[in-house]
Amino acid sequence: MVENKGLGFIEKYLAIWVALCMAIGIILSLTIPQMGQTIEEMSIGNISIPIGICLFFMMYPALLNLHVSELKKVVKNPKPILVTLVSNWLIAPILHAILANLLLKRHDQLIVAVILLGSSPCTAMVLVWGYLAGANKEQNFINTSLNTITIIFLYAPVVALLTGMQNIHLNWIDLAISVVIFIGIPLILGVVSRKILIEKRGMEWFEKSYRPFVGKLALVALLITLIVLFSLNGKTLINNPYELLLVSLPLLILYPVIVAINLMITKLLKFHYPEAATAIIIGSSSHFEIAIATAVGLFGVGSLAALGTTMGLFWEVPIMLSLVYFLKKLREKNFFK
């Protein structure tokens, strides 16, 4: 298995690029308002064709992380894997739904945005966070592979259940279509292309050349998507800037809360540092690409739900970097075994 490298220049300053793209989008909405209208007209249902293409390239690289062979190793040390799954699919979604309901009343699309973020366990950037923290690499690959598979089956039902409990009834068909288009198709293409390319060019070329290339492409697609999202809703945000501040509140509260819960569980179960770090990092992060794509599929590219999910991206990068340094400090103080 080829090791992951640290953060590149784009990834390291991703929060800055995100903020810059938001600003560019807002400026475009004020100076070239017809651009947003043109993009909205190039749509099939709620899905803009240009944005759909960008969303595909956001998702495809993340779904290359599925390592079916790694799943056989779950039985060797299942406890850390189970802790992470419980955090991803029980603790995080429920806490996100509860806090969204408490803090975002009468803002249904923002509630949905928070639930989408809380119900989407990460499968991509956690490989980098784990590498930087000195976490268990094998456990990291197993967990990301499991998350990739479980998202297909659990994401739509969990989102529908949690939104339904708050009397926000999403269209099941639209939700299922979003999962198929933005998760199912990229996953199938990811598995197929991975197999073909490794057979033809070898694992080293795939890991060192192909994956880094499509990873950079994914970040470019993400930034283009953000420009379009904010160009469509720039005037609304200028008139109501509290919307993004409001949706940030539950996210900023929940990150340290979920980290603390996972920290306590791994400490009580007496995990060694590499296993604890992996469980805490994966159990405390979200797959913001899936959340953004689903919000766009359900509500449209110019929706508050789509903009709300971008705040998960905006905050997660600096928070997860801080978590990496925090875990290293705990290791230095022999907090774990």
Please indicate, yes or no, if residue 174 is contained in any of the structural domains: yes
> pLDDT tens across 191-219, in order?
889 889 999 999 889 888 898 888 888 88
Please indicate, yes or no, if residue 23 is contained in any of the structural domains: no
Residues 6+ apart with CB under 8 A from 73: 138, 142
Across the range 305-322, mean pLDDT stands at 84
CA dihedral (218, 223, 227, 233) positive or negative: positive
Please indicate, yes or no, if residue 120 is contained in any of the structural domains: yes
Please indicate, yes or no, if residue 180 is contained in any of the structural domains: yes
Q: Which domain holds residue 233?
A: 50-330
> Long-range contacts: 1-10, Cβ < 8 Å, 24+?
1/137, 1/141, 2/203, 2/204, 2/207, 2/208, 3/131, 3/137, 4/127, 4/128, 4/130, 4/131, 5/131, 6/128, 6/131, 6/132, 7/128, 7/132, 8/216, 10/216, 10/219
Amino acid code (one letter) for 289: E
How many domains in the chain? 1
Please indicate, yes or no, if residue 245 is contained in any of the structural domains: yes
Instruction: Write b or e for each residue in 274-304: b if 16 or more Cβ atoms lie within 10 A of its Cβ, otherwise e.
Output: bbbbbbbbbbbbbbbbbbbbbbbbbbbbbbb
Please indicate, yes or no, if residue 123 is contained in any of the structural domains: yes
Please indicate, yes or no, if residue 58 is contained in any of the structural domains: yes
Check: pTM over 0.85? Answer yes or no.
no
Instruction: Report percent pLDDT > 90 for the chain.
Output: 28
Q: What is the CATH number for 192?
A: 1.20.1530.20
Amino acid code (one letter) for 199: E
Per-residue pLDDT at 221 = 83
Per-residue pLDDT at 3 = 46
Task: Check pLDDT > 70 for residue 74.
Answer: no
Lowest mean pLDDT among 55-59, 247-251, 272-276: 55-59
Please indicate, yes or no, if residue 20 is contained in any of the structural domains: no
